[in-house]
Each structure stands twice: as structure tokens, then as C-alpha cells.
């Protein structure tokens, strides 16, 4: 079975079960918040924080998978977002929204390790994308605009050092 048929079959299955997928997405966020609230009520709030981190991480994972599915639909099938089932489009957004609002009701988001990690990864990805975008705009003429080869080397070393720090912060050891 070709990969194209697998994706088409998966979408048809998801389209047939769109309401159940939407309800499961909402249940993930709201149920996770309830479980985190129960875990917080114990002797320590460590269990609640662990549940909250899993809920936020799972919601972000669902959202990223939805974005990748949209990219596959656009590139592989020439279908846009407007061609998809509205319930399937809303499910990852509502899952993320319900998770963030529900967990924020239980814990401040700044206290969760998952949120710090996601922020660090997002900053690293944005920095890489900005660097690639700026390099794509020069097309070899950057030496002229930056004042010579020495200037471009200094800027390149500084950019590499910044990306290294961001990379270590995003995926390196904690502590």
C-alpha cells in the first residue's frame, strides 16, 4: 500500500469520527487539568506537576502533528486547510487551549518544566529560521553589505555561538 493511500485512508477514518476526535481532544485538556488538581491535593504537588507536564506536552504534540498533517495535505495532495473538516481543524487547537487554560487553573505555567523546555525549543527554532531566512536573502552578496569578509566571519561566529547556546538550553542537560 503506497504512503499516499495510507494518508488518504487515515483522513477518511478521521473524517468519519470527527466528533469523537473533538471530544477526545477536549477530554484530554479538561481531564488532565482535573487529574492535575487531584494530584496537587496530595501530600506534595509533585504528582500534579508531573501530570500537568504530560498534559501540556501531549497537547503540544497533538498540535505539532496536526501542523505536519496540514503540510502533507498541502504538498502531497494539493489540498488547503479550507478543504478539511472543520471539527478536525478545531480539535488540536481546542485541545491545546483546554490544556493550557485548565493547567493554568491548577498551576502557574511558569512553574512547569515542560513549558520552559517548549519555550527554549521554540526560541531555538525561530532563531534557526531567522538565520536561514537572512542567508537566503543575500545570495552571496552579504560580504559587500556587511563590510568585508572579516565582518561576515565575526557575525557568523556570533550567530553560531548564539545558536549553540540556544541548542544546549533547548535539548541539553538540565541543571
Which residues are CB-neighbours of 60 under 8 A, at least 6 positions away?
Answer: 96, 118
Print pLDDT tens along the chain (175 aa): 888 888 889 889 999 999 999 999 999 999 999 998 888 887 777 888 888 889 999 999 999 999 998 888 888 888 888 888 899 999 999 999 999 999 988 888 888 888 888 888 888 888 888 877 777 766 655 555 556 667 667 777 888 888 888 888 777 765 4
CB-count burial class (<10 Å; 0-12, 13-18, 19+) for 119: middle
d(C-alpha 102, C-alpha 106), whole Å: 7
pTM of the model: 0.73
Amino acid at each position: 500500500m503506497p504512503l499516499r493511500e495510507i494518508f488518504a485512508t487515515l483522513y477518511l477514518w478521521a473524517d468519519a469520527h470527527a466528533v469523537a476526535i473533538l471530544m477526545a481532544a477536549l477530554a484530554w485538556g479538561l481531564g488532565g487539568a482535573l487529574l492535575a488538581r487531584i494530584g496537587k491535593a496530595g501530600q506534595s504537588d509533585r504528582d500534579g506537576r508531573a501530570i500537568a507536564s504530560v498534559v501540556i506536552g501531549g497537547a503540544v504534540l497533538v498540535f505539532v502533528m496536526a501542523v505536519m498533517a496540514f503540510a502533507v495535505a498541502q504538498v502531497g495532495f494539493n489540498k488547503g486547510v479550507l478543504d478539511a473538516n472543520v471539527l478536525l481543524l478545531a480539535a488540536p487547537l481546542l485541545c491545546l487551549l483546554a490544556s493550557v487554560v485548565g493547567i493554568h487553573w491548577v498551576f502557574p505555567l511558569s512553574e512547569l518544566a515542560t513549558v520552559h523546555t517548549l519555550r527554549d525549543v521554540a526560541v531555538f527554532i525561530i532563531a534557526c529560521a531567522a538565520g536561514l531566512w537572512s542567508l537566503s536573502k543575500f545570495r552571496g552578496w552579504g560580504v559587500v553589505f556587511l563590510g568585508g569578509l572579516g565582518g561576515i566571519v565575526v557575525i557568523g561566529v556570533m550567530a553560531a555561538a548564539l545558536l549553540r547556546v540556544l541548542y544546549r538550553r533547548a535539548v541539553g542537560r538540565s541543571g
